[in-house]
Amino acid sequence: MPHAGSIDVLDVGYCEGWDPGGRAVVGALAPAVARGRDRAGEQYAVVLSAGGRPRVLIEVAWWQDYCAVWLFDDLLRRTARYEFRRLAADRMFLTETGEWRYESADQAEFDASAWTRTRQMSVEGQLMELVRPSGTRGEIRQAIGEVRAGEYWTPVPAFGAWAGLAVLDPGVAAPVVLNELPGPGAH
């Protein structure tokens, strides 16, 4: 049962990508176009929204065995990235995460002074973490460690089955219902 205030229904839209300056999707796609791109391994993006506000952006490029999940803050700046690589026909591995913290509403997305943390994981269980408290202009703190690599595998999502990636947003509750929007040109 979802807890109070959590999101359990998301609208699904498809597009070419995300415009950080305009804080909006670029090149809306009809679901059939995105599905064709998925089958061909071509690039496209998925936007999962609640109440008209984007919550999760999923970038897909299967010809590169790539899938990334981005989360947004209230100002539609990207604050987290989960980068997966498809390393088996039906499974992908979380190879890297990124996190950005902004001190004010005036800071642009990926501002050079924003606090950042990057974590890189290997299938052998190695972890490297880089923290930049003052962004790219300041010091770098590095840590090397180990992780349970088995916990970083996840099934490759079938087209339209985005719920397993949507719950990377802590505000989204499982099980989440996905409502596919018709896209441009629909009647």
Taking only the tens place, the pLDDT of each residue in 153-167 is: 999 999 999 999 999
Residue 125 lies in a domain: no
Q: Is the residue at 128 inside a domain?
A: no
Q: Is residue 157 part of a domain?
A: yes
Number of compact structural domains in the chain: 1
pLDDT digit string, tens, across residues 75-93:
999 999 999 999 999 999 9
- Each residue's pLDDT tens digit, 84-141: 999 999 999 999 999 999 999 999 999 999 999 999 999 999 999 999 999 888 899 9
Range of the domain at 55: 7-98+152-180
Residue 2 lies in a domain: no
**107: in domain:** no
> Which residue pairs from 50-53 have beta carbons closer than 8 angstroms and sit at least 24 positions apart in sequence?
50/7, 50/9, 50/10, 50/11, 50/172, 52/11
In a domain, 40, yes or no: yes
Is 18 contained in some domain?
Answer: yes
Question: pTM of the prediction?
Answer: 0.93
Provide the pLDDT for residue 5: 56
